[in-house]
């Protein structure tokens, strides 16, 4: 296990918590990030990695009216994204469009495509359908899941379904299943809940306290990864979810988020309030593996931590793999520091 960092840095003006891969940009490795300042006008930065991979450039700078607590890029249109924001007194959510032309010389105003205004309490996140072409999205507050149909051409969003999770559960976030578009996993104080979007009913759950974040493995249909506040990272096979199939130590303080690599199924990233980003090897199925790779997998099960990136002075909250170059990821610490790293030295043998 190595330490330190040799990544490419970029500094935001204010504090920040969220960063998103711009999946719909097929020509550039791009990320969107937004700031979290109570007293100043907040900003959304469109960042692109230079063609040589040596610089992180600001391609667009846009003013945003409120503190940004969640940001997610639209999977089928690189100019559209969602934010969850706080005015200081209440929470809101909206879908935005980047205007054209744009640049980083001055701050442009975003165009509001639709306001996701079916919530009363604290909104936690907005999830885009991972199919890459659907107009459906989900917004989630502490008590409710809301399924929307977005029409960006008419600048409107229609509520299709709204369902309560019940007073005993306080929802905190979730993930849309890329292998079953009718299924969403939602995290709460005491469980991971699985919802069927056709009926908007909870169909299953994993009883687990203090789950902070979940992420589906894009390459393995039944695998879900969870980040727990105090007990690290757990990998679940949803066909037999009574106990995790693998446990990783996580971080020395709270493990805040986990992300499975979009191409290399064994690689998992995690970030935490210990000011670190950890790269893990989670052993995959032994099918179709050579004897050499089986030996390597056995060694990594003993010490699954491949690398710890420690080039931060504050808690790390934001994390995103690049879908265009899946050996690259971006991380974001609370003090507004974005770092781009390459995991090429750690890619598993194929």
Closest by CA to 278, choosing from 343, 325, 338, is 343
Asked if residue 1 has pLDDT above 60, the reply is no
- What 3-state DSSP class applies to 148? strand
Asked if residue 21 has pLDDT above 90, the reply is yes
pLDDT digits (tens, 9 = 90+) for 42-55: 999 999 999 999 99
**pTM, full prediction:** 0.91
Asked if residue 295 has pLDDT above 60, the reply is no
Q: How confident is the model at residue 66, as a pLDDT?
A: 94
Least confident interval from 32-36, 79-83, 84-88, 300-304: 300-304
- What 3-state DSSP class applies to 71? strand
- Cis peptide bond upstream of 101, omega within 30: yes
Q: How confident is the model at residue 54, as a pLDDT?
A: 92
Dihedral pair phi/psi, residue 167, rounded to 5°? -70, -20
Across 306-321, average pLDDT: 94
DSSP-derived pairing of the beta strands 108-109 and 56-64:
parallel
- What 3-state DSSP class applies to 291? helix
Q: Apex CA 191: angle with CA 189 and CA 197, to 5°?
A: 110
Across 302-323, average pLDDT: 93
Q: How confident is the model at residue 38, as a pLDDT?
A: 86
- Give 2's pLDDT tier (boundaries 50, 70, 90): low
Q: Which residue has the higher pLDDT, 73 or 4?
A: 73
- Give 294's pLDDT tier (boundaries 50, 70, 90): very low
What span, in angstroms and rounded, lies between the C-alpha atoms of 135 and 149? Answer: 6
- Give 230's pLDDT tier (boundaries 50, 70, 90): confident
Asked if residue 215 has pLDDT above 80, the reply is yes
Q: How confident is the model at residue 285, as a pLDDT?
A: 52
Q: Using only C-alpha atoms, what is the Rg of the chain?
A: 19
Beta pairing partners, 115: 94
pLDDT digits (tens, 9 = 90+) for 156-202: 999 999 999 876 778 999 999 999 999 999 998 889 999 999 999 99
Asked if residue 107 has pLDDT above 70, the reply is no
Average pLDDT of the chain is 90
**Under a CB-based contact definition with an 8 Å cutoff, are residues 184 and 197 in contact?**
yes
Asked if residue 6 has pLDDT above 60, the reply is yes
Q: Which residues neighbour 176 within 8 Å (Cβ) at sequence distance 6 or greater?
A: 127, 128, 129, 130, 138, 183, 184, 216
Largest CA distance in the chain: 59
- What 3-state DSSP class applies to 349? coil
Task: Count, in order, helices (H) and strands (E) of the chain.
Answer: 1, 29
Closest by CA to 162, choosing from 177, 141, 181, is 141
pLDDT digits (tens, 9 = 90+) for 272-290: 988 899 999 997 554 444 4
Across 138-151, average pLDDT: 95
Closest by CA to 9, choosing from 320, 316, 307, 311, is 311
What span, in angstroms and rounded, lies between the C-alpha atoms of 234 and 323? Answer: 23
Helix (H) or strand (E) holding 174: strand 171-176
- Give 301's pLDDT tier (boundaries 50, 70, 90): low
Percent of the chain past pLDDT 70, that is, above it, reads 91
Q: Which residues neighbour 269 within 8 Å (Cβ) at sequence distance 6 or greater?
A: 258, 259, 261, 277, 278, 279, 280, 319, 321, 329, 331
**Under a CB-based contact definition with an 8 Å cutoff, are residues 232 and 188 in contact?**
no
What span, in angstroms and rounded, lies between the C-alpha atoms of 309 and 3? Answer: 6
Across 134-155, average pLDDT: 93
**Under a CB-based contact definition with an 8 Å cutoff, are residues 345 and 6 in contact?**
no
Across 147-162, average pLDDT: 93
Dihedral pair phi/psi, residue 14, rounded to 5°? -125, 175
What span, in angstroms and rounded, lies between the C-alpha atoms of 100 and 191? Answer: 43
Q: How confident is the model at residue 104, as a pLDDT?
A: 56
Across 196-217, average pLDDT: 93
Asked if residue 257 has pLDDT above 80, the reply is yes
The distance from CA 321 to its chain's CA centroid, rounded to whole angstroms, is 9
């Amino acid at each position: 296990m190595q330490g330190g960092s040799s990544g490419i840095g970029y500094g935001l003006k204010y504090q920040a918590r969220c960063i998103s891969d711009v999946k719909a940009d097929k020509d550039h490795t791009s990320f969107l990030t937004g700031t979290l300042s109570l007293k100043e006008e907040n900003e959304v930065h469109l960042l692109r990695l230079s063609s040589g991979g040596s610089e992180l450039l600001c391609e667009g700078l846009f003013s945003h009216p409120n503190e940004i607590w969640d940001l997610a890029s639209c999977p089928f249109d690189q100019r559209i994204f969602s934010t969850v924001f706080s005015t200081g007194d209440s929470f809101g959510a909206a879908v935005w469009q980047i205007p054209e032309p744009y640049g980083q010389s001055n701050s442009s105003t975003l165009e509001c495509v639709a306001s996701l205004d079916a919530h009363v309490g604290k909104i936690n996140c907005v999830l885009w359908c991972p199919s890459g072409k659907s107009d459906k999205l989900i917004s989630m507050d502490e008590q409710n899941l809301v399924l929307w149909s977005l029409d960006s051409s008419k600048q409107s969003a229609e509520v299709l379904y709204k369902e309560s999770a019940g007073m005993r559960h306080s929802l905190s976030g979730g993930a849309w299943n890329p292998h079953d578009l009718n299924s969403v996993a939602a995290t709460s104080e005491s469980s991971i809940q699985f919802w069927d979007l056709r009926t908007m009913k909870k169909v299953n759950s994993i009883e687990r306290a203090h789950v902070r974040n979940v992420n589906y493995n894009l390459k393995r249909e039944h695998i879900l990864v969870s980040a727990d506040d105090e007990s690290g990272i757990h990998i679940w096979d949803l066909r037999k979810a009574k106990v995790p199939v693998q446990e990783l130590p996580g971080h020395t303080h709270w493990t805040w988020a986990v992300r499975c690599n979009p191409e290399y199924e064994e690689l998992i990233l995690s970030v935490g309030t210990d000011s670190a980003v950890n790269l893990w090897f989670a052993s995959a199925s032994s099918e179709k593996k050579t004897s050499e790779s089986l030996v390597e997998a056995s060694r990594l099960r003993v010490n699954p931590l491949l690398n710890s990136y420690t080039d931060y002075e504050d808690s790390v909250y934001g994390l995103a793999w690049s879908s265009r170059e899946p050996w690259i990821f971006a991380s974001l610490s609370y003090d507004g520091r974005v770092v781009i790293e390459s995991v090429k030295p750690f890619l598993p043998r194929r």
